[in-house]
Structure 1
């Protein structure tokens, strides 16, 4: 078994053997590149810069967009759940 030295983006053994250096995400059990989080952060930063260059992002918009998204999600779930069943007034709680 190869011992990982935790180097990013690839451990020395994987570099030496020309292998993809993967780790298992404990929550999803997916195999991910060791530098997965770093790569995602770089992509988000790039996308934010592109949006700012296009003049589509201000400091207030992300939170407003997030609130609108959450509101739509809640309304969708509420509609899917349907009305609450009527309770019998004599029913003990």
Structure 2
């Protein structure tokens, strides 16, 4: 059986939000590999940070640190015009 290509790869992803004088760490060192046709469910209480990785993977937000690739494309270094095409 032929191995499936990695479709989504997050390496050591951090997301830090600044609220007034506080820093809130929403993601700390996320490492994630998903293969094509694989399904992942994020579950947790309201306000626990489920939307943070989804917004990063969709290109609506960027991580504070780390690397995110989708289908071999580096999401963090995409230009805004490339992100628009990615959303389509």
With the shorter chain as reference, the TM-score category is under 0.3
Which structure exhibits the higher relative contact order, with contacts defined as CA atoms closer than 8 Å and separated by 6 or more residues? 2
Higher strand fraction: Structure 1 or Structure 2? 2
Higher helix fraction: Structure 1 or Structure 2? 1
TM-score by length of 1: 0.21
